[in-house]
């Protein structure tokens, strides 16, 4: 049911943890399954993502998509990181079963929320980035 890549990223997730004084932090949740994902981005002065980490309290697919999403955004500019959609994450994982598509959406939303936080802190506007839903607030325990 799961691709080898999904199993690999679930069993050996990359970039687990936190970044202290992160440039941007995004936390999102899915009200139905109750899963929560938090992504930390370290962005340099040129707007390039030099580090990404995550903490996910959720299902295996949520862990695998967080792992892949953090891998995909590393080295990208903030504008390029917007192209790391849930579709892109799923493709990179060789697909997900239909009932698990919402897990990959969480990864996209968490990246967007972290970019939004970064933009707010910098006082800049990232073209094409929309304000994330605010049903989870920073500081809540994961």
Q: Binding residue for ligand FES (CB under 6 A) from 58, 64, 90, 116?
A: 58
User: Cβ closer to ligand FES: 43 or 62?
Assistant: 62
What is the Cα–Cα distance from 105 to 88, expressed in whole angstroms?
10
Clarify whether 33 is annotated catalytic: yes
73 contributes a contact to ligand FES by CB under 6 A:
no
Cα–Cα distance list, 71 to 14, 19, 93, 122, 141 (Å): 7, 15, 11, 24, 24
Residues in contact with ligand FES, shown as a per-residue x/- string from 85 to 104 under the rule CB under 6 A: ---------------x-xx-
The active-site residue out of 78, 84, 103, 129 is 103
- Candidates 116, 139, 89, 118; CA nearest to 24 is 118
What is the Cα–Cα distance from 74 to 101, expressed in whole angstroms?
22
Which residues are near ligand FES by CB under 6 A? 30, 33, 35, 58-59, 61-62, 100, 102-103, 106
């Amino acid at each position: 049911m799961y691709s080898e890549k999904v199993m690999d990223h679930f069993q050996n997730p990359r970039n687990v943890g936190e970044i202290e004084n992160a440039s941007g932090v995004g936390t999102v949740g899915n009200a139905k399954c109750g899963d929560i994902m938090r992504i930390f981005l370290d962005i340099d002065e040129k707007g390039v993502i030099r580090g990404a980490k995550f903490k996910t309290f959720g299902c295996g697919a949520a862990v695998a998509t967080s792992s892949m999403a953090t891998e995909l955004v590393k080295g990208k500019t903030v504008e390029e990181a917007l192209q790391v959609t849930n579709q892109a994450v799923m493709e990179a994982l060789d697909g997900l079963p239909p009932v698990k598509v919402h897990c990959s959406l969480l990864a996209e939303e968490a990246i967007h929320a972290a970019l939004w936080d970064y933009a707010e802190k910098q006082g800049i506007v990232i073209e094409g980035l929309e304000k994330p839903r605010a049903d989870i607030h920073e500081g809540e325990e994961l």
